[in-house]
Amino acid sequence: MEAEIRTLPEVSQDVLASLRPPSLTPEKIQERLSYIIEKDRVVGDLPRRFLEAFAAVLKHTNYRQVIDNYARIPARCANCACACQIYQQTHDPKDVPCYRSNLLLEVYRRHFTLRGIVEGHLSGAPFLTDDLILEMAETYYHCTACRRCTLECPLGIDHGLVTHLARYVLSEIGLVPRALVISTREQLEGQTRNTSAIPWPAIADTLEFLEEEIKDDKGVDVKFPVDQPGREFIFFAPVSDYLMEAETLMGIAVVFYATGAMDSWTISTEFLDGINYGLFYSDWILERCLREELEQLRRLEARKILIGECGHASRSAKAFMRTFGGGEKAPPVVNIMEYTYRALKEGKLRLDPDVISERVTYHDPCNLARTGWIIDEPREILRSFCRDYVEMEPRGQWNLCCGGGGGTVSVDEIRPYRTGVTGVKKAEQIRATGAHYVVAPCANCKKQLREVCEDNGLDDVEVVGLHDLIYKAIVLE
Amino acid sequence: MPTFTYGDLSIEVDEDGFMQEPEQWNEEVAKALATTEGVDELTDEHWKVVNYLREYYLQFGVAPMIRKLCKETGFNLKKIYELFPSGPAKGACKVAGLPKPTGCV
């Protein structure tokens, strides 16, 4: 197998020659997938460019071994269909996870294995067509990359990984949702260095406002430390929290206050955004965002990376910091809920059980729960002060996605799909609990669940973060 | 880029109808943009939200935190949704001539 991998790293020139222009025009793509591209970035002959990009990715990464293994498996048992909330909603065979994965695997089989190349020559017809590329661009963003199907696959295929790889290759030829590209470009190359384009003076104004709010609500002086060197934690929230989630941020700040650890964390003025859309579509971006976090950690001589309430920001750092940040020497990555849980266990949090009288339920962000990373901690925290706490079914590692995972929540153009297809099962789940508060410790999930509730008639539901409720209930001296 | 026209007005907008050149904003533009948000008439309450957003944007280059918007205008979030059915970020900001928010907003 090793030898075969080495001898076939490139696409055959004959195959490339057989792919005839004219190819898709940007106008045609725009017509079918209005959200997917920046028009001026896509130029002709997509099948050829897709194969070249795929070949380059296979050559310079270690995806090839995985994909080569997957490609040897027929992957048509469709066991995964039982686990996929999208298929369960649409009953469209195209939404079966292994059907979707097979689109990319078939391109691999036809163009990157000896047998496929020979068969291609005999049949004469090029396999990779404009239509297939469009289908991939569409379907790989219908998948929310929640990876629930990976729990069901008897052959161990990680369909989430295939979705990621397909999106990676598509992004290399300019096929990627505009919303993700614009945000990432601002974060990595823009003036503000964050995905929501918030200039530092506005963040500073917001932090000052939050400090005043805490003073008014709780009567204590709590600071959001900025650019403090030598702290234990450097804190990266999803930057949208600074616009949307006042109580999440205030809750985090008061937990540090309550634990007597106000001088153990800091925010960086230069780069403070934990969002990493690279996890959704590009390993280049994934690596660059993590390197930015690392650079700030070094600049401020912090020891650990602390991620706020955000699933993908947490998983991208937790799972890949070692890959891109120095292997064994990479700094530890901690999610804020782990910190708060430890504080609870050490008896440092006083949470008034009479404050939250409404029914509360907890939504597991896929990026925290699917691998079994953080499941019990937030529940234990909530049960300690919420009298009417109920669970959703299924939950934990088997949770249902909010319906906006994998970056799709940022694509406003597909809101009807997100709330009318992928999010419907979640809406049913929430309705069945009868909860007023749905705790979703993730910026992506919060946005999506609010839209799901709005579009599915769940008017009395309030979607909040874990630290929002802690903020309401915490007793400070 | 699409152009939005309303009466004699003609402004460059993005795919979602947000202004491309926020500096071209004026009250007439706000009234015109409001019609795309299902708001036929801008009341004093609408103007209170729009003016605060505008003022904050001119000072800081971005919309204020939602909690701050609520506090400064005295309206709760529900009220803001009543005024601007698409909400503060997508509705009110559009009428106030701010660019479309990006990221997880």
CATH number for the domain that contains residue B57: 1.10.10.370
- Model confidence at A29: pLDDT above 80: no
Q: Which residues on A lie below 8 Å from B63 (Cβ)?
A: 243
* Mean pLDDT of chain A, nearest integer: 92
pLDDT of residue A121: 86
pLDDT of residue A28: 73
pLDDT tens track for A109-158: 999 999 998 988 888 777 888 889 989 999 999 999 999 999 999 999 99
Across the interface, which of B64, B65, B103 has its CB nearest the CB of A275?
B103
**Contacts of residue A147, Cβ cutoff 8 Å, sequence gap at least 6:** A158, A159, A160, A366, A370
Question: Which amino acid is present at A115?
Answer: R
CA dihedral (A91, A97, A101, A106) positive or negative: negative
* Mean pLDDT of chain B, nearest integer: 93
In a domain, B100, yes or no: no
- Is residue A46 within 8 A of residue A24, CB to CB? The reply is yes
Model's pTM, two decimal places?
0.93
- Model confidence at A12: pLDDT above 70: no
Please compute the mean of the pLDDT values over residues A41-58 and round it to a whole number: 86
State the residue range of the domain holding B34.
3-95
Between β-strands A462-464 and A437-439, what pairing exists: parallel, antiparallel or unpaired?
Answer: parallel
- Are the beta carbons of A243 and B67 separated by less than 8 Å? no
Q: Which residues on B lie below 8 Å from A196 (Cβ)?
A: 62, 101-105
- Provide the pLDDT confidence category of residue A35 given band limits of 50, 70 and 90: confident
Cβ-Cβ pairs closer than 8 A, A with B, add up to 77
Counted domains in chain B: 1
pLDDT tens track for A385-444: 999 999 999 999 999 999 999 999 999 989 999 999 999 999 999 999 999 999 999 999
Cα–Cα distance for residue pair A291/A464, rounded to 1 Å: 30
In a domain, B101, yes or no: no
In a domain, B105, yes or no: no
- Model confidence at B55: pLDDT above 60: yes
Closest alpha carbon within chain B to A310: B104
In a domain, B41, yes or no: yes
Q: Domains, chain A, ranges and CATH?
A: 2-176 (no CATH), 182-344 (no CATH), 350-473 (3.40.50)
B104 carries an active-site annotation: yes
Cα–Cα distance for residue pair A244/A268, rounded to 1 Å: 19
CA distance to partner chain B, nearest, from residue A230 (Å):
29
- Are the beta carbons of A209 and B61 separated by less than 8 Å? no
Q: Does B78 touch chain A if contact means CB atoms closer than 8 Å? A: no
**A304-307 β-sheet, strand order:** A265-266, A233-236, A304-307, A333-335
In a domain, B103, yes or no: no
pLDDT tens track for A176-190: 999 999 999 999 999
pLDDT of residue A8: 44
- Provide the pLDDT confidence category of residue A31 given band limits of 50, 70 and 90: confident
- Model confidence at A2: pLDDT above 50: no
**Contacts of residue B58, Cβ cutoff 8 Å, sequence gap at least 6:** none
pLDDT of residue A17: 57
Q: Does B83 touch chain A if contact means CB atoms closer than 8 Å? A: no
Strand, coil or helix: what is A334?
strand
CA distance to partner chain B, nearest, from residue A446 (Å):
9
CA distance to partner chain B, nearest, from residue A204 (Å):
10
DSSP A40: G
Could you give the ipTM of this predicted complex?
A: 0.95
- Is residue B102 within 8 A of residue A186, CB to CB? The reply is yes
